[in-house]
Amino acid sequence: MSEKSPPKHIAIIMDGNGRWAKSKHLPRSSGHQRGVQSVRKIVKHCAKIGVNTLTLFAFSSENMKRSEEEVGLLFKLFLTVLKSETKKLKDNNIKLKIIGDLSVFTPEIQSLAEDAQEQLQNNNGLNLVIAANYGGQWDIAEAAKKIAEKVSVDGLKPQDIDSDLFHNYTALAEYPRVDLLIRTSGEVRISNFLLWDIAYSELYFCDTLWPDFDEEELSLAIDSFHSRDRRFGERNGNT
Ligand code: IPE
Ligand code: IPE
Ligand code: MG
């Protein structure tokens, strides 16, 4: 494992649960359940190696288009995990934020999500961000809506809107910029996950299906991150 300090903010598109289940002749639900085990491992590991923020794509706004059965199952799993993990997160000093349009979730899920975030608000270890019914375009549109409100109600001047101000209205405003974005399962696309936030993130795609993703796989991604020359548009040396 690398001795360098880890990326401050890692974001992961946790993909491949269905294909994992299919390859084992199991129902898709087993893939999602095994996916939760990978989440546990990766959260614990990120806390241990000192990552500041870990943002996980659990459920996209487009995933709502899946069958009623699968959406119901994913909601149920979200509920179960909120119930079973909050205490463990507390003991591990992990702070939680859930981003996305939560209005689609049942009142029970919404109130558990609120309780969990509240219970963990005084923790100061890893910031765990779960994106649920989240879309990158939704996030940008929400920010635009809030800024428009500031213009019409609070007298914000349109000429004062710049990228720093805009950033302050996005869902991840309070966290360091995303350093490393990982997507598992061999798909090479963003699928409407973070858009604003990945302007200068390093991207890492691997074939491993999410239920098989573990600490070692994460270390490979981090090693790859450390091998990158992050120039941010500038020129280094004489090259
Ligand atoms: C990722 O696994 C989990 C969610 C999108 C909720 P998938 O369910 O997309 O699995 P594949 O891509 O079909 O293998
Ligand atoms: C993206 O995966 C969403 C999550 C991992 C939560 P999908 O499986 O939904 O993405 P597509 O359909 O392959 O683009
Ligand atoms: Mg998928």
* 3-state helix, strand and coil shares in percent for the chain, rounded to the nearest 5: 50, 15, 35
pLDDT at 6: 96
Query: Does ligand 2 have an atom closer than 6 angstroms to the CB of 221?
Result: no
pLDDT tens, N- to C-terminus, the chain (239 residues): 557 899 999 999 999 999 999 999 999 999 999 999 999 999 999 999 999 999 999 999 999 999 999 999 999 999 999 999 999 999 999 999 999 999 999 999 999 999 999 999 999 999 999 999 999 999 999 999 999 999 999 999 999 999 999 999 999 999 999 999 999 999 999 999 999 999 999 999 999 999 999 999 999 999 999 999 999 999 876 55
Global pTM exceeds 0.95: yes
pLDDT at 237: 62
User: Which protein residues are within 6 Å of ligand 1, measured from CB?
Assistant: 14-19, 59, 63, 74, 185
Distance CA 141, CA 203 (A): 24
Closest CA to 39 of 14, 59, 70, 71: 14
Marked catalytic residue, from 15, 139, 179, 197: 15
Taking the alpha carbons at both ends of the chain, their separation in whole angstroms is 29
pLDDT at 67: 97
What the block records as the tokens of 30 is: 């087993």
- Residue 172 Cα to ligand 3 midpoint, Å, equals 23
Residue 238 falls in the annotated catalytic set = no
Crossing angle (nearest 10°) for helices 107-119 and 68-91: 20
CATH architecture of the domain formed by 9-135+177-226 = 3-Layer(aba) Sandwich (3.40)
- Residue 209 Cα to ligand 1 midpoint, Å, equals 9
Query: Does ligand 2 have an atom closer than 6 angstroms to the CB of 15?
Result: yes
Relative to the CA of 63, which ligand 2 atom is closest? 9
Whose C-alpha lies nearest to ligand 2, atom 8? Answer: 15
- Residue 158 Cα to ligand 3 midpoint, Å, equals 39
Query: Does ligand 2 have an atom closer than 6 angstroms to the CB of 196?
Result: no
Domain boundaries, the chain: 9-135+177-226
Q: In what order do the strands lie in the sheet with 9-13?
A: 95-99, 127-134, 53-60, 9-13, 180-183, 202-205
Residues within 5 Å of ion ligand 3, judged at the Cβ atom: 15
Residue 127 falls in the annotated catalytic set = no
pLDDT at 239: 55
